[in-house]
Structure 1
């Protein structure tokens, strides 16, 4: 098992621009694997055992080093916190660099059917470019993926990624993540598109399926809107990506408008995900659809817009990963919609 894991990690590291910590983890795993494999066959086992122990200690030290070096407070306009208390990011969320897991997923998930062939095409280069810019702007950052995959996101304590070019923004876009969990990657893409508007980009976390309409999902969204109100945010555009779009379309009528103790939701942005069965809402709505999207059909998008009271459909070339592969085209459409509802600086 360890041999297979080591081989996979080395394969991913060799083919992708992984982080320095990713390479260090790979080296430590290789040393541990060598120690286990040669131990039964060598005469001087004491040195082999020392190699294995050193490898295990290296894994611990690398993780501890990341926990120390990776910050969660505001750095270059980005922060990760645990709400509703506003605590710093959990130590668990700092151990592994998100980009390493993302590239691992791009290598493995196409073989499982979780990523389609057309989605995988060009994804590696797009992801590498985005993660490179994220690292350049914000350095080593924590990520909510670990806590999400371990089922730790609850209404009483959930991870939130925040981006803002203004310390005290009064307007925000709340982005609900899709399946496979919450990632800084998608939040950064949204924030980068909206940077010129001076709004706060807020990305809360729920379960790994991104099923916002059940479990703790609705309560986490309510809590997020309450926390934003306490921080001085008055108006919000609710956005959802993929499965998060399904959740946003289902919950929009529930959170629309002004409610005591919550930031006011004034618009709905559905990115490559929705359900035509969602309740009607009076909120101004933008539905963004990719012409080659195998997950959200054009028929579903048109059906939703036809039923909605104040919705517009925009179709772009691309697939379900269009937000990463065509960031400028997606960004222009998203920015224009948000600017109309929230205004600029």
Structure 2
């Protein structure tokens, strides 16, 4: 069937939140401050782990990669969002839109895999402490991180190459604050069956299976903790994974809420709000959760401050 008189869309209009002019500047400063806090918080995590030798363990090395993933996600989403708040309708080319979705997908995929690795690390540390150092060392940890990023980049690239072959002609308007998959496919006048099949397979491999691994691991972790005879021992064991459990709850909770809500037109405002949870709130909260609930990170921060003062005193 030949398509005639079809106008191929090359530019997309992102509607964003369509806020009243009276609160546009308030939203601008709010998102700008959130972006700055997200960058500072995650860069602080990376700096602390890199600076303190006491934090050169697999758990904290995985944490730095999680911070890198959060920085990538925040930088991909928030600057465009801040701009869209001011101009009301953000114009973006199809190529830039697909590129934004690519980096969004890479960051989300890597986060799922990294959280799974961190869960496996906690499982070994609590359930198999005698074998921990032999199973997870710095060399194996580095290999895991490389494989995680390579898997994220390569598998998402397959999906993006398929999306790039689509023709977009139905509309030039996306009622969202970033180029997510569902609103992007709604613009396509091509057959999207292959894309949807790839998304389903990748979701099973990169989201569902890691989530099941996390659930099973934490069942074993909780059972092991409950078997510890002393209350102090149970509290100490649980404290080593409480921050990770909080981050997991925030991340997967927001994803489940966002994608269980129907994406009909009348629910787009709710969908956009829920999308804020895993695109904006999660990268902001991750370093806060780990910083507030981790004594070793606090000690590393105090060490950096003390060393900084000592250097200044020596200079003057």
TM range (shorter): under 0.3
- Give the structure-1-normalised TM-score: 0.24
- Give the structure-2-normalised TM-score: 0.26
Q: Greater share of helix residues, 1 or 2?
A: 2
Q: Greater share of strand residues, 1 or 2?
A: 1
Higher relative CO (Cα under 8 Å, sequence separation at least 6) belongs to 2
